[in-house]
Structure 1
Amino acid sequence: MTTDHETFMRVALEEAEKAKVEGNSAVGSVIVRDGEIIGRGRNLVYTDNDITAHAETVALRVTGDELKLIDFHGCALYTTFEPCPMCCGAILLSGVSTLVMGARNDPKSTSWQDYRVEDLIAQFGRAGEIEIVNGILVEECHAVRE
């Protein structure tokens, strides 16, 4: 049986595939409110020559622009990989209520050896304010990066 988390993560995976085809890191995100996708984003770092154009920040920016929205309380952000510290900060500032991650980052492939999004959220005194769901379509999320 397919869950809503899987359904929305598959859309994030479509965004990740687009990013990969465009020559960017294969990461995709979607923003969901009341069971509906209200925004999408994919990594555009190389396409836009913008080091901050990660999938999560792009999704927040585009959705914010289109809907004239800066408060994302009640929204879920789906992302194919664990958000980096910069993106985690943006998620915290946005007020996103739920973070749904496909796969954790491999400590061997990043410079953040012991980084976990939960730890950064706790350091900001926000533990428990954001529901975190992990492990949705992990194999598919890793496969899109191959």
Structure 2
Amino acid sequence: MLSSNNRDVLFMQKAIDQARRSLKNREVPVGAIIVKNNRIVAKAYNRIESENDATAHAEILAIRKAGRKTNNWRLLDSILYVTVEPCAMCLTAIYLSRIGKVVFGCASSNKMYTYVSFKKPEIVQIPDKIIQEKCSKLMKNFFKEARVHGN
């Protein structure tokens, strides 16, 4: 059986794979995986640009998929793995869907979530420095490229 840290690294790598898929559509590279009982129940990546939908964040899309797959909007005992620390909107959806734990890859520069005033689930940054760096590099490279092309 995998240790908690090794399991987190394995699932975070799957979230990174999702984030990389978003790059093909010129989306901000954020990927999310929802796991229950050590099984992936949903995976998603940002689709804001391709769907012209400001709410099409990876976390929201994964929550929607997980609810449909489990036939239950309450995602109790689930863990959300996401490559970037969730924003206020996504944190609210995480709270409402009853996800118990969030593991994120790199910190967000958008700190609006600090104004959310409900009891938050356990939210931890993955301790693996290599995974943190992969998530951070994905974001930095995307925005560097976007600035070059004037987006």
TM-based fold match above 0.5: yes
Aligned length: 134
| Separation of aligned partners in 2, 1:116 and 1:5 | 26
Corresponding position of 2:146? none
Q: 1:76 aligns with which of 79, 86, 90?
A: 79
Shift of 1:138: 1.0
- Percent identical pairs in the alignment equals 30
1:1-146 equivalent positions in 2, closer than 5 A: 3-106=6-109, 112=110, 115=111, 117=113, 119-120=114-115, 123-124=117-118, 126-127=119-120, 130-136=121-127, 137-145=131-139, 146=141
SS in 2 for 1:3: helix
| Separation of aligned partners in 2, 1:76 and 1:32 | 5
Shift of 1:66: 2.6
Q: Which runs of 4+ in 1 moved over 2 A?
A: none
Amino acid at match of 2:62: A
| Separation of aligned partners in 2, 1:3 and 1:55 | 23
Shift of 1:67: 2.5
Shift of 1:120: 4.5
Unaligned runs of 5+ in 2: 142-151
Larger radius of gyration: 2
SS in 1 for 2:72: coil
| Separation of aligned partners in 1, 2:32 and 2:115 | 20
Shift of 1:116: 6.6
Corresponding position of 1:109? none
| Separation of aligned partners in 1, 2:44 and 2:136 | 18
